[in-house]
Amino acid sequence: MDSTQENLPAERRHVPVLLETSVELLVPALQEPGAVHVDATLGMGGHAAAVLHAAPAAHLVGIDRDPQALELARERLDHEGVGERATLVHATYDEIPEVLEELGLTGAHGVMMDLGLSSFQIDTSERGFSYSVDAPLDMRMDPSSDGPTAADLLAELPEAEIARILHDLGDERFAKRIARRIVEQRESAPLTRSSELVALLERAIPAASKASGGHPAKRTFQALRIAVNEELEILTTAIDAALDSLHVGGRIVVESYHSGEDRLVKNAFARRTRSTAPPGLPVELEEHKPSFTPLVRGALQADERERSGNPRAASVRLRALTRTRSAERAH
């Protein structure tokens, strides 16, 4: 990582993934004056700024759990001349309904979720997200929270739970072997810095497996970050909360970078886009019709040009829906 990245303005540090596609999908729902667009994972504001430029009648509600992200996004939006059309809120993205209610808004016309780690969090060395720079093993997206750090999890969790996290959240083949090494290590000196964990992983992972699949620490760091921030637990609630908050005609775009994330999004979307009519019913009643329709077939991926120019784009899966009817059911 280039440490000079930390001193660059947000628009030069962050390249949003599938930017044109996500904007094209969202903008048709944001044409009316006062249309509300919720960017639930604001980050440095790349997607949000592009949407505001493309939908001049819309107002942004930008949500992020990271106070530093909100500061950077505010700077970017002000610099691009759209800051007066933005309300930024410190919250997690499962709190969309509460945020809208506090602002006196009845719902949203557009929702964007760009999941996972943002570029600036990787670039901010002291946060401990990167395996390429030595830093305290923190990994909290909201450093002001009192939740456990990655170092806390490695020092306190049972060996079997560490192995489960690495396997389930990082697809790490050598999860049990790594967990055993971590527990052995902490008997004499707990792991507190990223460089210590990287050195342990270098020893634990067989040499033959290091030749492919990227840096040997990548999967473990990903798994710990997801666990520390309870990302999958929050996402489960957040997707349904976002869908419930959309007005009829509203649109949602979600970009995932991890198989577990995408599976949750896929399943939540599937529930909203299929009929609830009992099997064998000759005619589908209005109350059984799905309330959402897909805007894209399956999941979109970045093309080769974008993947080669933006490493984050390599694993992205984009899914999008539009709300076609209210969720009210006949009684």
Q: What is the CATH number of the domain that holds 57?
A: 3.40.50.150
| Sign of the dihedral through C-alpha 254, 258, 262, 264 | negative
Name the token pair of 151: 């170092």
Same domain, 181 and 107: no
Judgement on whether residues 212 and 280 belong to the same structural domain of the protein: no
Binding residues for S-adenosyl-L-methionine are: 45-47, 64, 93, 114, 121
What pLDDT score was predicted for residue 53?
A: 98
| Residue 102 CB partners (closer than 8 Å, separation 6+) | none
Residue at 29 is within a domain: yes
Contacts of residue 233, Cβ cutoff 8 Å, sequence gap at least 6: none
Range of the domain at 169: 143-228
pTM: 0.86
Identify the sign of the CA torsion 135, 139, 144, 145.
negative
Residues 221 and 239 grouped into a single domain: no
Whole-number pLDDT of residue 6? 44
317-323 and 292-294 as β-strands: parallel, antiparallel, unpaired? antiparallel
**Considering its fold, how many domains does the chain have in total?**
2
Is 110 within the bounds of a domain? yes
Q: 228, 263, 283: which is the final residue of a domain?
A: 228
- Residue 155 is assigned to a structural domain of this protein: yes
Please tell me the predicted confidence (pLDDT) of residue 11: 46
113 located within any domain? yes
Reading the chain (331 residues) residue by residue, the pLDDT tens digits are: 344 344 444 444 457 889 999 999 999 999 999 999 999 999 999 999 999 999 999 999 999 999 988 999 999 999 999 999 999 999 999 999 999 999 999 999 999 999 976 655 555 555 667 788 888 999 998 888 888 999 999 999 999 999 999 999 999 999 999 999 999 999 999 999 999 999 999 999 887 776 566 678 888 999 999 999 999 999 999 999 999 999 999 999 999 998 889 999 999 999 999 876 667 666 666 666 899 999 999 999 999 999 888 888 888 999 999 999 986 543 2
- pLDDT value of residue 280: 65
Distance of CA 146 to the CA centre of its chain: 21
Question: What does the pLDDT read at residue 7?
Answer: 46
Find all residues with CB under 8 Å of 112, minimum gap 6, and list them.
22, 26, 37, 38, 39, 40, 41, 47, 48, 51, 252, 253, 254
Pair (14, 90) in one structural domain? yes
- pLDDT at position 103 is 98
Examine residue 86 and state whether it is found in any structural domain, yes or no: yes
304 and 162 share one domain = no
In angstroms, what CA-CA distances link 328 with 13, 27, 290, 300? 44, 26, 11, 30
Question: What per-residue confidence (pLDDT) applies to 58?
Answer: 98
Tell which of 228, 244, 270 closes a domain.
228
Q: Which residues are annotated as a binding site?
A: 45-47, 64, 93, 114, 121
